[in-house]
Amino acid sequence: MFVGSKFVLLRTTRHKTAYSAARRTTAAIATTKTTNTANKTTVRPIQQHQRVKNARAMTMMMFSSSSSSASTTTRGGDNLSRATTTRKKQRHRFQRRAIASSSVAAEAGGDEPSSSSSSSSSNKHVSSLLSWPTRTTLCGSLNISSVGEKVSLCGWVDKQRDMGGICFADVRDHSGLVQIIGAAEGVHANQSQIDEILSSLRSECVVKVVGVVRERNNKNKNIKTGEVEVEVESIEVLNVVSKSLPFSISEGEKSGNADKSSEEVRLKNRVLDLRRPKMLKNLKRRHEAIKKMRKVLEDEFDFMEIETPVLSRPTPEGARDYLVPARTAAAGSCYALPQSPQLFKQMLMVSGCDRYYQVARCFRDEDLRADRQPEFTQLDVEMSFTDADGIMNVAERVFLEASGMHKKVQQPFRRMTYAEAMEKYGSDKPDLRFDLEMTTLNDVLNDTEFPPFKSALEVSRSSVKVLVVDDSQAGKNKISNAKLKPKGEIFEDAVNAGSANGLFFCRVAEDGKTLEGAKGLVEGLANCAEKIINTSNAPPGSLLLFVAGKTKVVNTALDKVRHKCANMLNLIDPKAHAVLWVTDFPMFEYNEDEERFEACHHPFTAPNTEDYEKNPDDLTEARAIAYDLVYNGVEIGGGSLRIYRRDVQEKVFKAIGMSTEEAEDKFGYLLDAFQYGAPPHGGFAIGVDRLVMLLCGAKSIRDVIAFPKTTTGQCLLTRAPGEATTEQLAELNIKRIE
């Protein structure tokens, strides 16, 4: 219960004001004059307050206007005495009403007001004035030990059920839901009014309920509060739903469920989408993960959170910048939104801040995929006077605390070099929940005559690799040739990943020495079959899948095929947690299209000391002191030791084709800072959205971001981006190109 007695007392001492305000309101609140309370009532400060409130509500009824239900509202005490006698009649009438319990519309996103039958009945019970009532208790906090307590709850009606005159409803807030029920006949004098309101409730209308917690006869094991219910003493309709709901919010509602709606409808109606318990749970998980990250960094390692600018200059993290035209600077001047706070955090180290972190918003104008957003959140960390092990240790502690996997994942995390990851798994973020490995056959196939392999190996930066899939024990799941041939789904995966020839396949014969399969391939490889089998450790009966071409394409294709086969063979244990560091990335990657080198991580990453020593003036083949954190095949973070000397930084800029002038113009402030006694430093960043997505078991990062954008970068709720007016553009010295 997060509403403490302090609040309650406060309200009690203020009741005079509340009381006089109540005299002015015409709200129809059905309340009770308890004639016979079967349940024990715990005496708590709230009761004092409640008596005042009850009195207030009574007064309101006495002074209530015609906005109250005509059938139940009469003047003063008359109302109470008549209520009991007319109750039976009313019950009968409610039974006949047969009102549907939900107003979910078939048509999503409709702007139509709800039909009169669904809204007007609760409409007439809503106050004409605004009121801001308080509560004593959260719906989800009630349990068997609450029995006998008098509570007030505020929330949304999840579902209402009219069982032949006895009305039930589930009232939901962010903590959970609890059943409320009208009292048995004769318990409360004004039961008919309460019943009328209960019967009029519609899904998602907002109520305040006061009542006593009692044990349920029919317990519901599926909900946290399923052992109890609240017997209503008074109920106030605070707001109604006057527009068709595009989908149901209730988790119990199967038809019209939000999960069955398109993502477009959910994003357009994000307010309601987030009201769903499932989505609120994701946001809560996110909040908890961030809270834990902060706690480890501050309490265990003495980090300090420092904010850095959002309007800045470009930082080259490899993506396109979001630009913001600067009105007060020369025409054409723009700020760039930070792709990460990389340079600021490095300069903070030069400033002597020693240990910095920030839950930072980063912006990258990339083509978006399921796990990308134009703006995303990362936990950004930098520290001075440490080696890579020290940084990785901090990152591991952060990961373990945020994920709660202390018992499942041991420190230090497994490490694998980039070279090994690429060789065995064709990926720098290998999913190690399953084994399937691949092997490069370039040396083995030196003198192959099989034309597709022979021609592939004549080109630079090319390979032939084989993936071994042992499905010999897979029974009916065994991978069929149809899936591997052109038009088969595995073959097509390879093609879609860029492999012009798709895929070649054969099997190791039972003798473990020869190959079986398509004649051309088997004959073409006959002279090196045994070598292939031995180098790739392929057992008898196993499937060999070959891809030939540019090494980059071969790896991408076989990585895809590896995942597809693992899924087909059910090799992925959904409960497994495969966490590892991939280390020793290359400094640079060759961009085939642009025919130039670009930084693999970012150009502020330090070169491996041995490689630098060997050839300080040509770093193109050097490894970097960079590391990525990979969880179940997803890169969730990464970092590096940094360059902290101007001369080395200049060499790296040169290697990526940046002239001295350009480097000075873009990064002069960093190069200068390095001349003022910069400390050795390094850091890392963890992608909060991706990590939380995995922790929640969500399919998309959009499910763990409150207000995400679509893959075309739009916010369907606010309809951003919006068109700027001609005046706004003129102020910014921008002209529309027709």
Binding residues for ligand ASP, rule: CB under 6 A, are 317, 340, 342, 602, 638-640, 683-685
Which two structure tokens, joined as six digits, stand for 166?
């006895």
In angstroms, give the least distance from the CB of 629 to ligand ASP: 11
Q: How far is the CB of 315 from ligand ASP (least distance, A)?
A: 8
Nearest distance, CB of residue 383 and ligand ASP, angstroms: 11
Which CB atom, from 549 or from 683, has the smaller least distance to ligand ASP?
Answer: 683
Nearer to ligand ASP, 670 or 685 (CB): 685
* Residue number, 142 or 580, with CB nearest to ligand ASP: 580
Structure token digits, residue 719: 């309809």
The residue written with tokens 């018992």 in the block is 407
Min CB(626)–ligand ASP separation in Å: 8
The residue with its CB nearest to ligand ASP is 340
The Cα–Cα gap between 135 and 448 comes to 79
Choice between 340 and 608, CB closer to ligand ASP: 340
- Cβ closest to ligand ASP, residue 342 vs residue 377: 342
Closest CA to 426 of 468, 390, 476, 387: 468
Q: Are 345 and 308 in contact (CB under 8 A)?
A: yes
Residue 356 CA to residue 352 CA, distance in Å, equals: 10
Least Å distance, CB 299 to ligand ASP, is: 22
Nearer to ligand ASP, 103 or 340 (CB): 340
Alpha-carbon distance 116 to 123, whole Å?
9
Q: Taking the complex as a whole, how short is the minimal distance between the CB of residue 672 and ligand ASP, in angstroms? A: 21
The closest alpha carbon to 708, from 369, 202, 281, belongs to: 369
Contact 607, 587 (CB under 8 A): yes
Q: Are 546 and 440 in contact (CB under 8 A)?
A: no
Residue 179 CA from chain centroid, whole number:
30
Q: Name the residue nearer to ligand ASP (CB basis): 102 or 340.
A: 340
Q: 359 and 294 in contact (C-beta within 8 Å)?
A: yes
> In the complex, what is the shortest distance from the CB of residue 316 to ligand ASP, in angstroms, rounded to a whole number?
10
CB of residue 685 vs ligand ASP: minimum separation in angstroms?
A: 4
DSSP conformation class of 326: -
Nearer to ligand ASP, 32 or 342 (CB): 342
Show the CA angle centred on residue 346, arms to residues 341 and 349, nearest 5°: 130
Q: How far apart are CA 298 and CA 688, in angstroms?
A: 18
Q: Are 380 and 685 in contact (CB under 8 A)?
A: yes
By CB atoms closer than 10 A (0-12, 13-18, 19+), residue 710 is middle
The least CB distance from residue 418 to ligand ASP, in Å, is 15
Whichever of 232 and 383 has its CB closer to ligand ASP, that residue is 383
Give dist(CA 565, CA 326) in Å, integer: 52
CA angle 296, 298, 300 (to 5 degrees): 55
| Residue with smaller CB distance to ligand ASP, 685 or 705 | 685
Residue 92, classified by CB atoms within 10 Å of its CB into exposed (0-12), middle (13-18) or buried (19+), is exposed
Cβ at position 402, least distance to ligand ASP in Å: 17
| Residue bearing tokens 């396109």 | 320
